[in-house]
Chains A and B, each alone.
Chain A
Amino acid sequence: MNKQRGLSDKAFDKLNTFFVFLIVIVIIYPLIFVISASISDPAAVSSGEMWLWPVDITFEGFKLVFNNDAIWLGYRNTIFYTILGTIIHLVILLPCAYALSRKEMMAKKLILWFILFTMLFNGGLIPTYLVIKSLGMVDTIWAIVIPNVVGAWSILVARAFFQQSIPDQLVEASKIDGASDFYIFRKIVLPLSLPIIAVMALFHAVSLWNQYFTALIYLSDSNLYPLQLILREILIVNEIGGEGMEGGAGLAESLVNQVKTAGLVKYAVIIVSSLPLLIVYPFLQRFFVKGVLIGSVKE
């Protein structure tokens, strides 16, 4: 009996390992393909000759990408938006979450509901657009970094962290010593909260780096375009001719019109835009995982 079970468990193990392996391959294959395609001869890629390893290695695609001013500008803009947006995110989020984590805070429930309600209901695309337009934020960097700068979810997560990891006695003892809340927050709470600061900054930075829609609706000045909007033109608009949304389409045109190299540029530009995050995340994985987990803890 026992032996039989040992045997079937072994078979289970082997089968399970095999299927996990298969899933990992399926998920990772498109990425390997893109990497190989970016340094292969475009003719070999479009003919299907290249399917796993690079064929006729060439770095022309990267050269074209690096010599393209629009891409550089987009890159610079994205970095700038990501850094600025993340800083504003933290400046708004952390004090608010800390204040809501304090016992002595009055009307806490009411304020929390006020914030949480925005998760349940929002004005929607058009009313929000009208507000941002009337504030004169259209075609400025503020339209990119301010809307969605902080969500109710982040506040809940950061608050949960403060509640769990800032000992009450510590804050109370400092207060008895005459420290103000500003002082306590700066000198005691923040140094103890580096993990949550990292988590929150990373999540927000990733979403800023990858967003295109806000830029699409609020920016028409191509000098302000973030990388994702330029990518959209190179990868999608010029390829299948997305309809009805021109707006600076000429930007990448000169580049993409060279039909022969279009395929090459396509893959190189995917690499250039996605690589920073793909290289960084494995090292910061524990922070990301932590973020997901604190976020899942119920009130």
Chain B
Amino acid sequence: MRQKKAGGNPAIKKNRLHLTKKNFLKSWQLYVFLLPALTYFIIFHYIPMYGVQIAFKDFYATEGILGSPWAGFDHFTRFFDSYYFWRLLKNTLIINLYQLLLFPLPIIFALMLNELRNGPFKKWSQTLTYAPHFISVVVVVGMLVAFLDPITGLLNHVIMALGGESVPFLTDPDWFRHIYVWSGEWQSLGWGTIIYLAALAGVNPELHEAAKVDGATRLQRIMNINIPSILPTIVVLFILNIGKFMSIGFEKVLLMQNTLNSETSDIIQTFVYQTGLLEGQYSFAAAIGLFDSVINIILLVTINQIARKTSENSLW
């Protein structure tokens, strides 16, 4: 078919049109394959995007999206001027940055697993550390509630046995971020090594042989061969992580939140849920949600740009 197309002498245009039509008729069933998915994306993704305009309106359910009056940037200015704006932004940024700081941990753990010479031990270590990945957030938070209880919790038993005083971990704003981030690390550390381990398996063994001959130690070989070899993988995963910035783990935050720790646990997304779905301020909440997504896109595009300029590894 290709050849025919290229070999067409005078009436190329007409020929091409004809071919397009023929091509479509020949494979029309492939387009039928797309229909369910495209319908889904239109209804559940693109119509909500269209519905984002309620952020600039005063939405009344009885009037519908189109019938509700415009409000301009009122909801945004109300949000920016409110006393909780800075608190929400600060909490959201801090908890995400904290989480981002732990980004190297799965890399380090993967490098450690990769150095294990005992096959079965390595395999068992992997399988066992994957386990928490399969536990639901509800159960994880339920376990935190049980372990960190000021009276019956295991951790406080240990603290008291060592002569310390019981700590109300879950109702103390100072503890919220640590508990949130480290329990997340508990869940994802093992699972996070999978991609790095695969990348490490692809490192050329000849490099290691050559380095051995030159007298390099294990640590030197890790630093100078393994890490540079998986650097592209690290960069791509780092960008992907940034892409999730501002949007991670809100369902878990919601579960861990209570009136006593809200000083640090109030983040933009829990606030959207609260004002929008619990209090019914649809337009106001949609505006806050939109603000959140816009920051997200800006971050992702910026980081991708930086990565492309500096390391030639980028998402697009």
Cα distance A185–B31 in the bound complex, in angstroms: 13
- Chain A 177-235 residues near chain B, CB threshold 8 A: 180-182, 185, 206, 209-213, 217, 228, 231-232, 234-235
Cα distance A241–B297 in the bound complex, in angstroms: 36
Contact B41 A31 (CB under 8 A): no
Q: Which chain A residues lie closer than 8 Å to B194 at the CB level?
A: 289, 292-293
Q: Which chain A residues lie closer than 8 Å to B31 at the CB level?
A: 99
Q: Which residues of A contact B (CB under 8 A)?
A: 1-2, 5, 8-9, 12-13, 16-17, 19-21, 23-24, 26-28, 30-31, 33-34, 37, 45-48, 51, 91-93, 95-96, 98-100, 102, 104-106, 111, 114-115, 118, 120-132, 135, 146-150, 155, 180-182, 185, 206, 209-213, 217, 228, 231-232, 234-236, 239-245, 263, 266-267, 270, 273-274, 277-278, 281-282, 285, 288-289, 292-293, 296, 298
Q: Which chain A residues lie closer than 8 Å to B300 at the CB level?
A: 120
Cα distance A114–B46 in the bound complex, in angstroms: 9
Q: Which of A96, A150, A244, A293 contacts B33 (CB 8 A)?
A: A96
Contact B29 A181 (CB under 8 A): yes
Cα distance A93–B112 in the bound complex, in angstroms: 37
**Chain B facing A: main interface SS:** helix
Contact A213 B254 (CB under 8 A): yes
Contact B34 A13 (CB under 8 A): no
Q: Taking CB as reference atom, which chain A residue is nearest B49?
A: A123
Cα distance A277–B134 in the bound complex, in angstroms: 6
Cα distance A48–B269 in the bound complex, in angstroms: 37
Q: Please, could you name 16 A-B residue pairs with CB atoms under 8 Å apart, sorted by A?
A: A20-B116, A27-B132, A28-B131, A48-B152, A96-B33, A96-B34, A102-B27, A121-B49, A126-B276, A127-B286, A146-B40, A147-B44, A182-B29, A217-B277, A231-B136, A267-B146
Cα distance A100–B41 in the bound complex, in angstroms: 15
Q: Which of B135, B145, B217 contacts A235 (CB 8 A)?
A: B145
The verdict on A273 contacting B286 (CB below 8 Å), with A31-B131, A100-B34 known, is no
The verdict on A96 contacting B143 (CB below 8 Å), with A12-B219, A48-B154, A274-B135 known, is no
Contact B112 A16 (CB under 8 A): yes
Q: Taking CB as reference atom, which chain A residue is nearest B315?
A: A298
Cα distance A124–B294 in the bound complex, in angstroms: 11
Q: Taking CB as reference atom, which chain A residue is nearest B291?
A: A124
- B197 vs chain A, min Cβ distance (A): 9
Contact A274 B34 (CB under 8 A): no
Among A5, A127, A266, A281, the one with the most B-chain Cβ atoms within 10 Å of its Cβ is A127
- Chain B 11-58 residues near chain A, CB threshold 8 A: 20, 23-24, 26-27, 29-34, 36-38, 40-41, 43-52, 54
- A287 vs chain B, min Cβ distance (A): 12
B236 within 8 A of A: yes
Q: Which bucket holds chain B's interface residue count? A: 35 or more
Contact A274 B136 (CB under 8 A): yes
A-B pairs, top 9 by smallest CB distance, nearest first, are: A123-B48, A235-B142, A48-B157, A124-B289, A127-B51, A210-B136, A95-B33, A96-B37, A46-B152
Q: Which of A24, A150, A209 contacts B40 (CB 8 A)?
A: A150
Contact A296 B233 (CB under 8 A): yes
- B76 vs chain A, min Cβ distance (A): 14
Q: Which of A128, A242, A243, A244 contacts B44 (CB 8 A)?
A: A128
